[in-house]
Amino acid sequence: MRKWASCFLALVLLISLSLPALAAESEAQEAAQTLYDLGLFKGTGTDAAGKPVFDLNRAPTRAEAVTMLVRLLGKEDEALAGDWNTPFTDVADWAKPYVGYAYANGLTTGVSETSFGGNQAVTAAQFLTFVLRALGYESGKDFSWDSAWTLTDTLGMTSGQYNAKTNGSFLRADAALVSVFALSTAGKAGKTLYETIFSAKLPQTLADTIDRLAGRTPKRDTSRAAAGYGKYLDMLHLPELLGKPQYSQAEIRQMLEGECTLADGMARQMERLCARRTDLDEAISFCERLQREPGSLSELDVEQTLARLSAKEEQGVSFVNIEQVDRKAERIKGALVGASLFTAIMLLTMGIIAWTIWMDLQDMPPLPLLVLLFGIPAGCILGTLKVLADRIREIRKGEEDAYRNY
């Protein structure tokens, strides 16, 4: 009996450790992808499918941290265009523009007079110091660099997870999350880091993503609802009468918040619709020409047909956008991977329990404990599948349903 009680406790411990770890990994991956889409996080390469690899489970190096600092300052173009001189002899070629800019502007120093130490791991205090400098705060004046988490906790960028004990356990996953949270953090001059970098207001969708990753309730402007804002959301169905135009979420937000007029929005949409109509007319015309071709598909002059297509595309006609990325498919794949991993862990656990029982049938646990031993992982699997199904439905709904969250 004692053996089975130990198995039960081990099962509970396994589940309690697995869920937060999987959630944290998923959050860090989403944070890294968000930064990548903004051009602030480039990754360490690409996988076989051409997607970025972020290598989140290792410590960032000093060279990587300085590169992130320059990007968070919005100075990457200036750094790449400059001709910088430093006394350091150990800086990799790819990092020289970033280290050179940071050194010339007093943002970093080396570990010695001639060594930068670019491959050395960065601690939490060092990376937080870089981010705080990007926000306009000065080390030694506004905060102490060796306990930078004191100020980041105050600003809400971190929440007590970094301290003297965890200082040396800082990963690229941490760097991605801290950098994302920094985007919505007000700097010393009062502007958020996003506003400083992009000279634009933080988009509501990005603000909601940051709040969700930080475990905060998304901030909404309730005054809009009080002013009858809902009726304007219902009017978003009117585009169905205009050819179901493909508005981006940013465009709808701009019109709803008065950043551009309805007339401007409609003018841009009419341009897109006219372009689509031209493309459709050309596609129909091309199909009609192929329809008149004698014989079967195998007899078609492929080279001549492709030459005609290329000529039309050079004239501005678009038959298909091969550059378009299916973000929904990527998100669904990410959800499937996470759910599959956790389900596999639970199935393995059930298999081990069943094998243990089979090896010693005389020491069969009592029925209530047996139900718990198999019921808990089975319930976790069912719950995971339910959450996965809801997540896939949410992803497939697309932007139109997201607007209703305003």
* Between residues 278 and 239, the one the model is more confident about: 278
Q: How confident is the model at residue 222 (pLDDT cuts 50, 70, 90)?
A: very low
Q: How confident is the model at residue 254 (pLDDT cuts 50, 70, 90)?
A: low
- Report the pLDDT averaged over residues 325-333: 61
Name the range with the highest mean pLDDT among 95-104, 188-197, 222-231, 239-248: 95-104
Please write the tens of the pLDDT for every residue from 255-313.
656 667 777 777 877 877 777 787 778 778 877 877 777 677 667 777 777 777 777 66
Please write the tens of the pLDDT for every residue from 22-48.
445 678 888 888 888 888 888 777 877
pLDDT above 70 covers a percentage of the chain that reads 73
Confidence at residue 103, expressed as pLDDT on a 0 to 100 scale: 92
Confidence at residue 239, expressed as pLDDT on a 0 to 100 scale: 44
**What value does the mean pLDDT of the chain take?**
75
Please write the tens of the pLDDT for every residue from 140-189.
889 998 899 999 999 888 888 899 888 888 988 899 999 999 998 888 88
Residue ranges of domains in the chain: 2-37+325-403, 124-131+138-219, 237-314
pLDDT above 90 covers a percentage of the chain that reads 13
* Between residues 193 and 224, the one the model is more confident about: 193
What the block records as the tokens of 76 is 């990457």
Q: How confident is the model at residue 238 (pLDDT cuts 50, 70, 90)?
A: very low
Confidence at residue 318, expressed as pLDDT on a 0 to 100 scale: 57
